[in-house]
Every structure is written in C-alpha cells, then in structure tokens.
Amino acid sequence: MRIIIFSFIVIAGMLLITYSFSPAEHFAGTLTKPISHVGFDTLLRKHVSIDGKVNYKGFKKDSVAFEKYLSLLSKNPPNDSTWNNNEKLAYWINAYNAFTIKLILKNYPIKSIKNITTPWDEKFFMVGKNKMTLNNIENDILRKKFAEPRIHFAIVCASYSCPKLLNTAFASVNIEKQLETAAIDFINDPKRNIITADKVQLSEIFSWFTADFTKDGTIIAFLNKYSKVKINDKAKVNYLTYNWNLNE
C-alpha cells in the first residue's frame, strides 16, 4: 500500500511540475521573440505602388490577412529585455503605418485623414493590454525613446505630402539602410521639398518637429547630410503648405 501511495505521489508531483512550468515557459518564450513582419510586407508589396500610392480597396479585399497582422502586433508588444533596439524600432514604425491604414479603412471612402475627428488621438487599437493612439506611438514612443529624426520619413499619415509609404515592411536586419534611403528620398523629392543652394522650401514636417532635426546643429546642417544640392549655411528657409489629400 505504501508503495502504491508513494508512486501516486511521485506521478502526481511530476504532472504538477509539467503543468505548472512547461506551458508557462512555452508561452513566455513566444512573447520574448520579435514578431515577423512578413505578412505586412506581402500586403505592402501587393497594395502599395513604388511611388507610395496606396490601394485601400485592395487592403479591404485582403482584410483577413491584414487583420491577422494587426492582431499579431496587438498581442506581441516589444519585450524591452529581449528585443534589441532595431527590432523595437521596426515594430513601432510598422505598427504606426499599419494602424494608420486601419484607421483609413474604418472610415473609407474618405478624401483626407483630417476628415476624421481627432484621428491621431482616437484610441482604436490595442498593444498588449493598452488601448493606444497614433500619437502615443509617434510622440510617446518613437520620438521619446529612440531619438531618431529619420522616423519622420518612415511613418506615414496617409496623406499626399507625407513621405511615401514604402511597399516593403521595415525589418530590423536592414532598418538602418531603410531609414537612410527614406531620408534621402524624402528630402530630394521635389514634390515634398524644393531645394536650391540659397533657398529651401521645406515640408512642414521640418517646422512641426524642428527640435528633432536640430539636436546636433541647424536644420541646414541636417539637410546637407542627405540633400543632393549643397545648401549654403545662410540659405533662406520657407515651408510649403501641406497637402492632406489621401495618398490613394
């Protein structure tokens, strides 16, 4: 009888250990690994042109795949202890762009994101247990935690004067190259900025976020890192009127 009882206790103990730790360890393991952005990349390649025009009707038709990616974002926020800086940066840039598309689709058809009441302060998506806004991602996370001015050429607010939405997702393995390319492309795009040696007419992005671009010098010094035209230090700076029409 003692042997039977002892055996029962040992088996029960083993089952308890297995039940208590294995599922938890497996669950924790999935949360600590960075997510794949391949699903978003596939949709972007399919529904965004090389010049950044977005086929929102196409995204609506692919709503199942798109919602699957959004759910992946919502359920797997970055883990500060196990994700590296590039993995977190890629996640938040992709999240901003994907949830912006989601916001447009929620209100589609629409002529401009500004036709939506307080679009950047609407709490319409979850990240982990937190209900969030686009402003939370841009101002509380990307601008505050990364100190990376080139994010302004990567996140896209669904408008014509915004940077072009890339037709590929941002990825941690080549995010430095993607940010550099985005900066060069945006600054030298005559539809967004008009640059000569003695006069520059800039996107209002440079006015709204001047502090982000001038931490290490003047706005001219920042532009000259990417501009194909060498700008004089005392060049006159003006700002172009922003076109909020949908980037469709």
Cis amide prior to 78 (ω within 30 degrees): no
Which residue is listed with tokens 């408008």?
Answer: 159
Kindly report the length of the chain.
Answer: 248
* Tokens at 189, concatenated: 């795009």
pLDDT tens over the chain, length 248 residues:
444 444 444 444 433 333 333 333 233 333 578 999 999 999 999 999 999 999 999 999 999 999 999 999 999 999 999 999 999 999 999 999 999 999 999 999 999 999 999 999 999 999 999 999 999 999 999 999 999 999 999 999 999 999 999 999 999 999 999 999 999 999 999 999 999 999 999 999 999 999 999 999 999 999 999 999 999 999 999 999 999 999 99
CB 30 within 8 A of CB 23: no
Boundaries of every domain in the chain:
36-185
Q: Which of 124, 88, 127, 131 is nearest to 103 (CA)?
A: 124
d(CA 70, CA 82): 21
